[in-house]
Each structure stands twice: as C-alpha cells, then as structure tokens.
C-alpha cells in the first residue's frame, strides 16, 4: 500500500491501493481529452404537453469549457429568471466535453439562448425538476497526455483487478494492452476505494470541508473565514494578498475593494458583512454564508461528511480489512435492480447489518455485484456499524469532534446522512497509444479516484 500525495492526504485519501509507479502525465490538455456523458434515468412528456401540468422544460446539453454552475448562471441570466429555476442531476467540470440533462421551470424552447460552447437538444417537458437521483452514472473517455511510463498501466490494471476481488476479470491481451495485435483495447473489471475525489473539496484550494466542519460545529465566523481566508500558493498573488489582508484586519469595506471581481461568491459574502452595523455576530456571519447559492451551501456540509468518509476508508485500508466483501459488523447495501446494463449501482435505501451468521451469504452477494460494503456519510439519522468497522467509524468521528446530532441544523445545512459503498468497480478498457481509458461509474463516484491510481501525480494535474 503506497502513501498518497500530500494534497490528497489533506482530504482523507491517505493511500493508493496499487504499488506500481504511476504512468505520470496529465489530464485535460484539451477539452476533448476528457469526455463525460450522463447515464440518464429521467422520463419526459412531449413538448406539446400542457405547461400547467408539466412546467419544466428538459434539454440535453453538450458543453465545452463550461462548469455546470457557470452554465446554469449564464442560462438563468439570459432567460431573466432566478438560477433556482435551473436544475440538473450532476455537476460537471469546466475543462471537459460533457453531456448532461438540465430542466428549467416555466421556459419554452424558443426562450433558450444560443450559448457559445453549448449544443442544446430539447427533449420534452416534465412535472418536476431534475434531481440528483435522476442520474444513474457517467461514462468517461479520458486521454492521458505525455505519460512517462504508459506501459505501467498494465501492472496497475492487474493490481486494481485484484483489489476489486476479481482477478479472473482481466481479459485477453492484458499483458499487452496496446491492442497491437488488432484485438482492440484490453479490458478488465477493476476496483478502487470509493473515495470522494479532490474536486469535492477544491482541487487547487481544498477548503470546502473545513467550511463544513465549522458549520456543523456551530462556528459561523470560523466557517466564513475558512472560505474567505486560507490563501494558497495555487492562487494569483492578488487573491492571496486579499485573503491574507482580510484574515489580519477584518476590514470588510477595504477587503471589498481588494477582492477580484471574478471571486463573486467571496465578494457577495464580504458585501453582506460590510453592511453590518457594528461588529458582525453569529447571525450576520451565517447570513453572509447564505449569500452563496443553495447547492453550494449544501456542499459545505456534504464536504465535511465526505472528509470523514475518506478518513474512514483510509483507516480500513490501514487495518487491512477487505473492501470487496464484508467482515462481521459491517453494514451492506444491495444493488439497484433498475441500473443500466454493465453498471454496478448501490441502493443505500436497502441495507443489512452483517452478523456472524450472514458473513458467508453476504460475501457471495458481494462477489456477484449484488451487495456492497458501506461506510457512513454522517448525519442526524446515521447508525454506525458494529465490530471492527464500527470502531473505525467512532474513532474518526472522535478525532473530528463530531457526532450525528451536530447535523441537526436549519435550512440547507441540515443533513440526515446516509451510507455509501466503500468500493467502486467498473469495466475498464485501456489503450496505450495514446494512453486512453474508457469506463463508467455510478452516480456520486469520481473518475479521478480511478485515474489517480494510474497517474500518481499532484492532484492539480488531475483537475
């Protein structure tokens, strides 16, 4: 087991599970080198359906160079409506070609603007907006630029197949995955810990979980300053200086002059505090934090939960416990029977605690992709595991000074919690010339968590 990059360790991903040296290189040299397409599970009615009964216009957008949040803001501005009327099932990165669904409340096809870098295909109408559950997963096609050791992809694939518990899944030609013999790319079923990727916390400035931890602890000033302060070397000099100035002085008016216009969320928060009569208190700091969009407010708490989850997985790795099968005390969930073909999709609404009598039978379900070992995303309704896994979960929460009741907050910051599979498996196709990886992942799983095992570089190069 190999120690991870320091930036990854800072967000709870403490190890790689493959020991082979990485292939090196970088991702996203061009947008076309990182393609993502949603695996959809959302039905629409024809466009002719009544707008009164079906007020949400649904369309599929292929975006080049657009972050999902930025595209939604551009769309809402062009339509002259609140951004809260624009919904989507999954957030995508800016430096990629992404294909995903959107819905807009109260819009008609003729209202949709022409947006540079966006191809829009109107699908129909729906009675409700898109939600996270409407996304089954994503298909990825990724090219690694300038790899130093592309041939190492073969050994890494073999290690990840073994970690997933499916050594026999390596297909013909795995010893030479270049496809040079004309048989095409090598394929294998591989597994990795289902970590939350660096993007969850900020690739260049991983502080989102720090904000969330302060929110859950009830320290609203600490949460705001974690977001506004914390300058990092990855930022431009002017931004670093503005953050450092605010940390030192708490001069909201002067900070508003110093923060660049492109940092619109920071400026909105500082503006809220600058309008406060006297020194801001907890209510004013909370109001400042609530100036960011509601989905980002939720993300703060989700990032805190994700950090704890990552630490729990790292501790399980340290103890040498399996990820592909349960031990006594584990909590497992079962597979979603409506998942698209070839996609292992856990259904965390169907859980079972594994006692001594059930270990063998549940292991068979896990081997067949019908069940998954889980760990908690802690919230008010979280029930922790028993046995050694339960010890790990309690130790991590004690380290972070958290307990489930802390998530009983009002507004967007409240979370009941859930559980999440600790292993993600996928059928992977690998070409060496150029180095290309194609795979599909269930919703909520991160492509970079698989790709980091192959490149083993600074996570900024994965961003």
Give catalytic residues, as residue numbers: 93
Structure tokens at 12: 């709870």
Q: Which of 45, 46, 55 is nearest to 108 (CA)?
A: 55
Q: Which of 383, 394, 420 is nearest to 315 (CA)?
A: 394
Q: Which of 409, 425, 415 is nearest to 370 (CA)?
A: 425
Rounded Cα gap, residues 50 and 126, in angstroms: 10
Cβ 178 vs Cβ 435: under 8 Å:
no
Q: Which of 63, 142, 187 is nearest to 452 (CA)?
A: 142
268 Cβ contact list (under 8 Å, min separation 6): 291, 292
Q: What is the DSSP string of 349-377?
A: EEEEE--TTTHHHHHHHHHTTSEEEEEEE
Residue-level length of the chain: 463
E strands, 301-457, are 331-335, 346-353, 371-377, 418-421, 423-432, 435-442
Element (H, E) at 208: helix 208-216
Cα dist from 219 to 18, 133, 213, 214, 339, whole Å: 39, 31, 9, 5, 41
Q: Which of 276, 236, 275, 279 is nearest to 258 (CA)?
A: 236
Element (H, E) at 138: strand 135-143
User: What residues form DSSP beta bridges with 420?
Assistant: 375
Rounded Cα gap, residues 313 and 286, in angstroms: 32
């Amino acid at each position: 087991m190999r120690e991870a990059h320091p930036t990854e360790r800072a967000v709870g991903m403490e190890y790689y599970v493959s020991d082979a040296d990485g292939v090196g290189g970088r991702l996203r040299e061009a947008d076309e080198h990182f393609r993502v397409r949603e695996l959809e599970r959302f039905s629409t009615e024809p466009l002719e359906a009544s707008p009164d009964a079906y007020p949400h216009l649904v369309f599929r957008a292929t975006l080049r160079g657009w972050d999902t949040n930025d595209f939604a803001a551009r769309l809402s501005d062009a339509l002259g409506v609140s951004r809260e009327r624009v919904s989507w099932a999954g957030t995508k990165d800016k430096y990629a070609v992404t294909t995903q669904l959107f819905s807009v409340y109260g819009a008609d096809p003729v209202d949709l603007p022409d947006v540079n870098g966006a191809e829009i295909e109107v699908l129909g109408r729906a009675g409700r907006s898109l939600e996270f559950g409407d996304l089954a997963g994503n298909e990825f096609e990724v090219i690694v630029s300038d790899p130093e050791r592309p041939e190492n992809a073969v050994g890494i694939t073999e290690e990840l197949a073994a970690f997933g518990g499916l050594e026999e899944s390596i297909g013909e030609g795995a010893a030479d995955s270049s496809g040079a013999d004309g048989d095409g790319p090598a394929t294998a079923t591989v597994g990795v810990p289902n970590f939350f990727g660096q993007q969850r916390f900020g690739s260049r400035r991983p502080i989102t979980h720090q904000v969330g931890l302060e929110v859950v602890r009830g320290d609203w000033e600490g949460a705001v300053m974690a977001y506004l302060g914390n300058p990092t070397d990855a930022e431009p000099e002017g931004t670093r200086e503005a953050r450092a100035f605010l940390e030192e002085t708490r001069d909201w008016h002067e900070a508003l002059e110093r923060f660049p216009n492109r940092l619109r969320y920071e400026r909105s928060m500082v503006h809220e505090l600058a309008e406060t009569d006297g020194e801001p208190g907890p209510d004013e700091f909370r109001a400042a934090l609530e100036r960011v969009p509601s989905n980002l407010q939720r993300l703060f708490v989700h990032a805190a939960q994700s950090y704890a989850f990552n630490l729990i997985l790292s501790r399980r790795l340290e103890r040498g416990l399996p990820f592909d099968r349960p031990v006594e005390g584990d909590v497992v969930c079962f597979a979603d029977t409506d998942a698209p073909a070839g996609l292992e999709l856990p259904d965390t609404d169907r859980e079972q605690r594994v006692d001594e009598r059930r270990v063998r039978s549940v292991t068979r379900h896990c081997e067949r992709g019908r069940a998954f070992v889980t760990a908690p995303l802690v919230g008010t309704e979280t029930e922790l595991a028993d046995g050694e896994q339960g010890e790990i979960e309690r130790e991590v929460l004690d380290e972070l000074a958290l307990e489930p009741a802390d998530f009983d907050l009002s507004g967007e910051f409240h979370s009941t919690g859930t559980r999440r599979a600790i292993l993600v498996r996928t059928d992977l196709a690998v070409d060496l010339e150029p180095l290309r990886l194609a795979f599909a992942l269930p919703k909520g799983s991160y492509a970079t968590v698989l790709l980091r095992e192959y490149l083993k570089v600074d996570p900024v190069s994965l961003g």
